[in-house]
Chains A and B, each alone.
Chain A
């Protein structure tokens, strides 16, 4: 079945002209029509545009052009500006916003010949760990539609897991690719900060946000990253470091690779989660890797540090939404202050307002030193801990999430409880490090992920380690029931 093939296999068939991009696109569009209503993974479907783009890809293929992503369908998280297509960021604030330009990520993938099926549902302004804060309703986990898929990139994760698309873009500020990838049984990669351009990616927390990818294998993630990564002069935090060939070293043997077990991640880990990690470690030692314990003593500060830094940055980034130039405007504003307050009060959902206010508070006079400055110091302590660990090991390993997917509605009344879902993922964002989550088994019939984190710009090594694990196991091959065919 076409939707169970990997990107390389699809590209091969397209290259041999056994299938056309139009046929492939129709296949996914019809799956989406049939299967998406139960999942609510999309905010906007772009079927007509997709068929036009597929025909253009077929023309390029017809002329003999070949490329790893030429003619391959994908979906974009609705946080990426897509020229001429509604871009909502999961919010009422942008319900009427049609992006007038393409994000760099979108333009690069388009140039490589991908076909956009639609824009995926997400937590509002990327703030959430369950895809329950979206103005467009929650996304359901295809493994159990009473459960969340994770967030904030819940739509991209669910759609990839349900085989509604070969791959999808996402963003990860505190875990928003890795956590939903773990909860939906797919591979999710967050690159190093600065590796992928943020131009045209609606900003949440500028020192943490990073674009990345959901796919069903490390090999597919490598193919996507190859196109997405690279210096962009339009993003002033984009790093001018050469992009290696991410696919070339996938098959490198792991003999001698040193993998660090993060003591702070394994402490208090729930027994079944720990058992899955134990089994994964045995696979890695079987592949020739050496494991040793490393300690990051300041890591437990990650979640409070993040929940000072990220809201502070979001309060600044979201101040542009003022009802003046674009986005939601309230009816009959009586004066400018009323225009601002009601456009924002009505346009933003509760979690977004909570985070804007948290950020405003920690940056306000009298509190800046105690909270924001303090958090920036804690951030350095956490980053330094990682740096010391990477002097001893090549990668660190741990769980991606504390539990499998939880029930929709279970954590919505307690923001702090919701925030603790990110406990294993946040450290990598604070330190700007790349991380990948791969499926590693099941708990209560629901997928679980293992996470690998590497030093800056170590994506090739991460993908190599992930790929070798996927050659030795088949967790990543499992499809949720009802979505295999």
Chain B
């Protein structure tokens, strides 16, 4: 069950990845072989088997008390930002 170029274009769009025209055939081919490879799973009988999202049974999301435990580090964290003005991240216009 190979993937088509349109399939890969759609997936790339969902994943927000730009793929150039030259790169496209390589991705179509390699993604198709990966999908063919994992298709082996479809031949496995999993009737009545519960899906497993997590390797350890019995884990649940711990909660903590709703108290402030951190302080404001935004200046330090924003040192890595591509573009910052007045503590705000600058991006191309989003809303017309």
Contacts and interface: CB of A to CB of B under 8 A. Distances in A.
Using C-beta atoms within 8 Å of the partner chain, give the interface range for chain A.
Answer: 35 or more
A233 B64 contact: yes
Nearest to B91: A324
Interface in A181-234: 193-194, 207-208, 233
B49 to A, nearest CB: 4
Interface residues of B, number: 54
A339 B62 contact: no
Interface in A65-103: 96-98, 100
A239 B59 contact: yes
A246 interface: no
A341 B55 contact: no
Interface in B61-82: 61-62, 64, 73, 76-82
Contact of A356 (B15, B26, B56): B15
A370 B94 CA distance: 36
Interface in B29-88: 30-31, 33-35, 37-42, 44, 46, 49-56, 59, 61-62, 64, 73, 76-83
A108 interface: no
B55 A415 contact: no
Contacts of A326: 80-82
A329 B44 CA distance: 43
Contacts of A97: 80
A357 B8 contact: yes
A322 B54 CA distance: 27
A479 B46 CA distance: 47
A230 to B, nearest CB: 15
A360 B11 contact: yes
Given A239-B59, A353-B19, A432-B55, A378 B11 contact: no
A236 B60 CA distance: 9
Contacts, number: 165
Contact of A237 (B51, B52, B59, B78): B59
A24 to B, nearest CB: 32
A416 interface: yes
A33 interface: no
Contact of B49 (A334, A361, A381): A381
A319 B81 CA distance: 17
Contacts of A303: 37
A153 B18 CA distance: 28
A177 B53 CA distance: 23
A430 interface: yes
Interface string A371-399: 10111111111010000000000000000
B41 A305 contact: yes
Interface of A is mostly: helix
Contacts of A375: 38, 41
A432 B54 CA distance: 8
A374 B42 contact: yes
Contacts of B51: 373, 376-377, 379-380
Contacts of A34: none
B50 A342 contact: no
Nearest to A374: B41
Interface string A294-307: 00001001011101
Contacts of A47: none
A348 interface: yes
Given A341-B18, A361-B11, A456 B41 contact: no
A362 B49 CA distance: 19
Given A371-B38, A377-B49, A415-B30, A98 B14 contact: no
Nearest to A307: B38
B16 A341 contact: yes
B17 interface: yes
Given A236-B62, A374-B42, A377-B52, A360 B14 contact: yes
24 contacts: A96-B80, A237-B54, A239-B59, A324-B91, A325-B78, A325-B80, A326-B80, A336-B94, A339-B92, A341-B17, A346-B18, A354-B31, A354-B34, A357-B8, A357-B11, A357-B31, A358-B35, A361-B35, A364-B11, A370-B42, A373-B51, A381-B46, A414-B33, A416-B37
Interface of B: 3, 7-8, 11-12, 14-20, 23, 26-27, 30-31, 33-35, 37-42, 44, 46, 49-56, 59, 61-62, 64, 73, 76-83, 89, 91-94
Given A344-B15, A348-B17, 14 more contacts: A100-B76, A193-B55, A207-B53, A239-B56, A322-B16, A325-B78, A334-B92, A345-B18, A350-B26, A358-B34, A361-B11, A377-B52, A415-B34, A432-B55
